[in-house]
Amino acid sequence: MDFTLSAEQTQIRDTVAEFVDEEVVPRAAEIDETDEFPADLIDEMAELGLMGMPFPMEYGGAGLDYHSYAIGLSEIARGSGGLGTVVAAHTSLAGNMVYAFGDETQKERFLTPLNTGEDIGAFALSEAEAGSDVPAMSTTAEPDGDGFVINGGKLWISNGSVADTVTVFAKTDPDAGRKGISSFVVRPEADDGFIVEGTEEKLGDKGCPTAELRFDDMWVPEGRLIGEPGEGFVQALKTLNGGRITIAARSVGIARAALDAAAEYATEREQFGGPIADFQAIQHKLADMDTKVRAAELLMHEAADLKERDEEFIKEAAQAKLYASEISREVANEGIQIHGGYGYTKDFPAERFYRDAKLSEIYEGTSEVLRNTIAQQLLDE
């Protein structure tokens, strides 16, 4: 098994890392403080081809393999966890819904501007009473002439208040359970009845607006239906499965940032006549942190490899996301500990890494749900 990055993958890593170090890291604290959507950074990333990394060039994408996409997203998240979520929700969720399940017209009309960064995407699945329990959703889409009328609401929608294209899930047959869920492309600016109720004030993940949406008699044409009626539940599961690889990547990026900051601080901070990096207790913490990050990276790439080869990767994606998200929090926590009192202040980024890391254990499959998934896959083998 070859773990060496290809020349293209190395170039992607170095290009994104340079951009992050020069443009994102200097802005990260400001983004965290203001919680404003960094539209200018999105434009710069679009120019670098980072808003459509895994999609074919014929649709305006960069045509990269999933390893390169995960590497690129990890670097972005190393600079800003919120920016990592912006790209992940835009690409892995909204973009992939159109690419994997949309028809040719939908790909040309909606996927291309997403890939070029002209549009921002969002994925509207969760509801107040339907988070992990997707079939419990109450949003409906009723046939109306040559289209559908959508009524209901969605919660926790990343990019929801700034998106130009939103993939929305609704029940077209409320009595059919999971087989009665369908998905649609919604255009907030054009579709009357699309309402942003507000955005959440969150612990971390700043710069990525998390919105509550409402749909009041919102009519969409039949051509916006993605796939066939009743296919939405399966589409959502498949999309989230691939998205878990990129949440693992986000987690790895944040953990790497926390580790780097802790190692740098340990070599500079002096106590008892020398740098604290000389203390075995600190060395052991750093050793454990680095080992966990490396293990998470390997799980991430294993899942990406299976996806690239078009093989089943449900368990592997769940394991990658579960482990990477949990060690990201653990590594960030140890980073605070190494910083001591300074780690608990905003004078250093250690506390931001912790706040950003925590989210990965919750969205796109909580740790508890992922353990259920892994166990079910294991027992079915």
Catalytic residues: 364
- Give residues with Cβ within 8 angstroms of 308, minimum separation 6: 65, 66, 67
329 in helix, strand or coil? helix
Alpha-carbon distance of 56 to 157, in angstroms, equals 26
Q: Which residue bears the tokens 């190494």?
A: 338
Q: 321 with 248: CB under 8 angstroms?
A: yes
- Give residues with Cβ within 8 angstroms of 318, minimum separation 6: 241, 244, 365, 370, 373, 374, 377
| Residue 256 φ/ψ, nearest 5 degrees | -65, -40
Indicate the helix (H) or strand (E) that contains 103.
none
SS3 content of the chain, % helix, strand, coil (to 5): 60, 15, 25
Q: Tokens standing for 116?
A: 């070029």
61 in helix, strand or coil? coil
* Relative orientation angle of helices 280-308 and 314-339, to the nearest 10 degrees: 160
212 in helix, strand or coil? strand
Alpha-carbon distance of 224 to 286, in angstroms, equals 51
